[in-house]
């Protein structure tokens, strides 16, 4: 056992997957949970991935040695304000938010100096949400990024790292600003592009009388999977990782114009060279074990968002 009492604030995809993974490894004594709605709390209790549920976040964190904030990024501040005065001295607080600097700005001011705040982000997810959607293997062989603050106690970081590894993940540490830039490239901007493509196709569908859906090919189907991700979570990601995603979108638009021009002028060599370079990136991802080489992008078993 790594922590005696864990409190999960938010009981959706990530929190329920953590609970299942902690149960699988016997990593936590008691798992207490809080979600906004009574319905979610009841489902969590019924599914049995928490030992107790609490109507208030403050009650859920009482006596916990690890508190996990697993709510949308935009809800972090309100939750931190509620739990701040009720945390046990020496407790560790972590979060799983997809953006890190904004969460640090929102949460840190509400925590007492004796509380260890270690922001985190598991790079694992699916397009599903809610307490039913979690599963124990979600984090297996996925990265879990920690962005500890300079003043954080090293022993507390090492204990949290042990938990993440025992849940199946590989752990890396980096600073929050770097995290936000990396994720803007690998996750946030691709999501926005998928949302846009699906939106455009939806407009077109009205013209082509459902053919877009009927003859949906792998490329478009993959976009729709990504674009089915939780709207609240992704709204908050773009509102809080604004600078990095805007920077990326600027570069993306320039590249798109360059490719558009190559198509217009019939510049085959440019297109071929570009697509050869991108193919090599795909190979690198497979070699790094972050996706499978199965046809249809290996989507049958596991997605990866967040
Ligand atoms: P989710 O399945 O939609 O669950 C969110 C949970 O937060 C729900 O239990 C919800 O309660 C609760 N909640 C929302 N607002 C709250 C509030 N003000 N007070 C208390 N509880 C509140 O979300 P998720 O996918 O697990 O995402 C949680 C966090 O993980 C987000 O910050 C997200 O950025 C991050 N993340 C997500 C992924 C991914 O792929 N999904 C990957 C990595 C990280 P109700 O059910 O009662 O509404």
* Total residue length of the chain: 306
CATH of the domain at 280: 1.10.3660.10
**Separation of 58 CA from ligand 1 center, angstroms?**
18
Question: 8, 17, 35, 110: which to mutate for ligand 1, most atoms within 8 A of CB?
Answer: 35
Residues 20 and 98 in one domain: yes
Closest CA to 188 of 111, 241, 267: 241
For the chain, give the percent of residues with pLDDT over 90: 79
Question: 12, 74, 179: which to mutate for ligand 1, most atoms within 8 A of CB?
Answer: 12
Q: Is residue 208, in this structure, part of any structural domain at all?
A: yes
CB distance 72 to 236 below 8 Å: yes
CB distance 121 to 183 below 8 Å: yes
Tally helices (H) and strands (E) across the chain.
13, 8
**What average pLDDT score do residues 234-255 get?**
95
Q: Is residue 124, in this structure, part of any structural domain at all?
A: yes
**Separation of 70 CA from ligand 1 center, angstroms?**
5
Asked which of 123, 150, 174 is the last residue of a domain, the reply is 174
Q: What's the pLDDT band for 301 if we cut at 50, 70, 90?
A: very low
Which residues, including other chains, have CB under 8 Å from residue 222's CB and lie 6 or more apart? Answer: 194, 297, 299
**Separation of 73 CA from ligand 1 center, angstroms?**
8
Question: 14, 59, 77: which to mutate for ligand 1, most atoms within 8 A of CB?
Answer: 14
List, for residues 92-143, the tens digit of each pLDDT value. Answer: 999 999 999 999 999 999 999 999 999 999 999 998 999 999 999 999 999 9
- Our CA angle for 12, 140, 71, nearest 5°, is 20
Q: How many domains does the chain have?
A: 2
Residues 44 and 126 in one domain: yes
Crossing angle of the two packed helices 242-265 and 189-208, in degrees rounded to 10: 50
pTM recorded for the entire structure: 0.91
Domain, as residue range, for 279: 178-287
Residue 206 pLDDT > 90, yes or no? no
* Atom 14 in ligand 1: residue holding the nearest Cα: 71
Which residues, including other chains, have CB under 8 Å from residue 211's CB and lie 6 or more apart? Answer: 205
Q: Is residue 137, in this structure, part of any structural domain at all?
A: yes
CATH of the domain at 50: 3.40.50.720
């Amino acid at each position: 056992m790594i922590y005696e009492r864990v409190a999960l604030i938010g009981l959706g995809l990530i929190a329920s997957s953590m609970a299942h993974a902690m149960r699988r490894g016997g990593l936590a004594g008691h798992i207490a949970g809080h979600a906004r709605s009574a319905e979610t709390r009841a489902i969590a209790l019924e599914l049995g991935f928490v030992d107790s549920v609490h109507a208030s976040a403050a009650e859920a964190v009482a006596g916990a040695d690890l508190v996990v904030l697993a709510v949308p990024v935009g809800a972090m501040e309100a939750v931190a304000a509620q739990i701040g005065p009720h945390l046990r001295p020496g407790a560790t607080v972590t979060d799983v938010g997809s953006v890190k600097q904004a969460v640090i700005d929102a949460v840190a001011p509400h925590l007492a100096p004796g509380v260890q705040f270690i922001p985190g982000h598991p790079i694992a997810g699916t397009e599903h949400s809610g307490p039913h959607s979690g599963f124990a293997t979600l984090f297996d062989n996925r990265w879990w990024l920690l962005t500890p603050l300079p003043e954080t106690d090293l022993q507390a970081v090492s204990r949290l790292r042990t938990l993440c590894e025992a849940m199946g993940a590989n752990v890396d540490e980096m600073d929050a600003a770097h995290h936000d830039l990396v994720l803007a490239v690998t996750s946030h901007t691709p999501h926005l592009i998928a949302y846009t493509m699906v939106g455009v196709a939806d407009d077109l569908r009205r013209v082509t009388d459902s053919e877009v859906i009927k003859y949906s090919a792998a490329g478009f189907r993959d976009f729709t999977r990504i674009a089915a991700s939780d709207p609240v979570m992704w709204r908050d990601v773009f509102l809080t990782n604004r600078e990095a995603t805007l920077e990326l979108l600027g570069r993306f638009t320039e590249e798109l114009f360059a490719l558009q021009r190559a198509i217009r002028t019939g510049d085959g060599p440019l297109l071929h060279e570009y697509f050869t370079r991108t193919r090599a990136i795909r190979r690198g991802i497979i070699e790094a074990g972050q996706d499978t080489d199965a046809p249809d992008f290996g989507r049958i078993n596991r997605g990866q968002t967040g």
